[in-house]
Amino acid sequence: MRTIYLNAGRMAHFGSTGSVLDEQTYGPGKAIIVKNGLIEAIKSSEEVVSEWGLSTVRNNGFNKDVSVFDLEGQSIVPGLIDGHTHLIWAGDRSREVSWRREGKTYAEIASMGGGIQYTVRETRDATDDALVKLGYQRLRGALRSGTTHLEAKSGYGLDTASELRLLRLAEQLNGIDHLPTIDPTWMGAHDVPSGATATDYVESLLSEQLPAVVDQGIARSADVFCEPGWFTVEQSEDVLKASRNANLDLRMHVDEFVDGGGGDLAAALGVTTADHAYHTSMETRLRMDSAGVNAGFLPGTPYAMGDEWPDMDAIVEHDLRFTLASDFNPNCRTMSLPFMASLMVQRCGMHPLVALAAITVNAAKTTPHPSGASHGTIVEGGVANFNIVDGPNWEAVTLSPSDTPFSGTVLNGQYIAH
Ligand code: NIG
Ligand code: FE
């Protein structure tokens, strides 16, 4: 059984290197043929209509082997990929908005009993059912904004049993029909649990938590919050090297508040992605790039923290490979990648194609699809994950910061209306 999506409008996607120079904007009028959740072929609609004997574009001529969906000239972009989320947590920290506007810093709020520790307590107290329900609602919201796949970190457990539980719940949500697929990351090194010293906690991460996570077999990657006041460069290096020895892929949170050497460690270890990278010097970013490290920019963080925007012009001028992701967390409660792209395009002067590459083909390189097939681009043999823009032009993706810019999403070949 095939589904033929006929009469696409402008289609924007990228070659496999992800460089904007590889832009391939198909002219209007293409048809996408989907079989078994994969894109079988992309051809002109006229050719497909005659090849399949479709009597009209709206009618499959009563051919049982094919169903037809008329896109009526709506524009198409790949399924969006969110390479950095903290998906599962409970509780409400919105009171921190007032504290921030009253002048408190992130570290001060943490020392007042807010921040990550607050969410850890609320999350540990929540039932499995409550956390799964929250995860489910968030994933539905993400899909409505066009996200077809996302990375999801644990990290609000901070003890072995709680971290294993968060990974188990992520796995429970993975692969549910009509939800984005999930790439699970262990982030036991998100913070030091209250009552422990950093040295003791790192020791327990290495001797107990990491082996248990590996044994559980759910996490594909490990992540560390490498930042003065959280995990030092040396502690981060120990956790990351042990994780690499255990065959986990490596991700990092670096230089969110200061240039604390996290970016340098990311380059030295050649991790897959170093995220935030907000205060990282350009010299270090260039070194990261030569070491094959993706820079994961998270526009929702400066947005929610009220910080300056990063100098994205310099990053684009240096042709650094980078992604944009939501960093969905208790401080930044949106999973909308169109919103992230809007912020970059409308506030930082980024070209929409550059923003689109950062939430599709570039993100795919840091978080592969569970099937192993390519995603984040619209190619024959790739996963049939694409978004149908509600209009003829894909640039609308960067002009819809509130509601979804999409009339529907095709997820693993299945059409879902929004
Ligand atoms: O990526 N920086 C560390 N982790 C999250 C925020 C966590 C929190 O404040 O709960 C982030 O921004
Ligand atoms: Fe984060």
Cβ 255 vs Cβ 280: under 8 Å:
yes
Residue 267 CA to ligand 2 centre (angstroms): 19
Please identify which residue in the block is written with the tokens 């795919």.
Answer: 364
Question: Hey, what domains does the chain have and what are their CATH numbers?
Answer: 2-78+377-417 (2.30.40.10), 80-366 (3.20.20.140)
Beta bridge partners of 231: 226
| Residue 91 scores a pLDDT above 60 | yes
pLDDT at 62: 66
Cβ 191 vs Cβ 117: under 8 Å:
yes
Q: In what order do the strands lie in the sheet with 66-70?
A: 38-44, 30-35, 2-6, 66-70
What's the mean per-residue pLDDT of the chain? 94
Residue 329 CA to ligand 1 centre (angstroms): 6
Model confidence band, residue 20 (pLDDT cutoffs 50, 70, 90):
low
- Express each pLDDT in 43-60 by its tens digit: 999 999 999 888 665 666
Please identify which residue in the block is written with the tokens 């009993």.
Answer: 113
The best mutation among 82, 86, 278 to test binding of ligand 1, ranked by most ligand atoms within 8 Å of the C-beta, falls on 86
Task: Tell me which DSSP letter residue 79 carries.
Answer: P
| Residue 31 scores a pLDDT above 80 | yes
Report residue 194: phi and psi, to 5°: -65, 145
- Express each pLDDT in 122-163 by its tens digit: 999 999 999 999 999 999 999 999 999 999 999 999 999 999
pLDDT at 65: 81
330 lines ligand 1 (CB under 6 A): yes
pLDDT at 372: 96
- Other Cβ atoms closer than 10 A to 236: 28
pLDDT at 192: 96
pLDDT at 14: 82
pLDDT at 56: 60
- Other Cβ atoms closer than 10 A to 165: 18
Cβ partners under 8 Å of residue 349, min gap 6 = 312, 313
Model confidence band, residue 171 (pLDDT cutoffs 50, 70, 90):
very high
pLDDT at 19: 63
Biggest CA-to-CA distance, the chain? 72
Structure tokens at 135: 């995860």
CA distance 361 to 85: 17
Model confidence band, residue 325 (pLDDT cutoffs 50, 70, 90):
very high
Model confidence band, residue 1 (pLDDT cutoffs 50, 70, 90):
confident
Cβ 148 vs Cβ 384: under 8 Å:
no
- Express each pLDDT in 209-218 by its tens digit: 999 999 999 9
The best mutation among 88, 225, 323 to test binding of ligand 1, ranked by most ligand atoms within 8 Å of the C-beta, falls on 225
Cβ 164 vs Cβ 199: under 8 Å:
no
pLDDT at 28: 82
Provide the whole-model pTM. 0.97
Beta bridge partners of 68: 4
Cβ 305 vs Cβ 278: under 8 Å:
no
Structure tokens at 101: 């506007």
119 lines ligand 1 (CB under 6 A): yes
- Express each pLDDT in 330-362 by its tens digit: 999 999 999 999 999 999 999 999 999 999 999
100 CB burial (10 A radius; 0-12, 13-18, 19+): middle
Give the distance, in angstroms, between the CA of residue 196 and the centroid of all CA atoms in the same chain.
Answer: 31
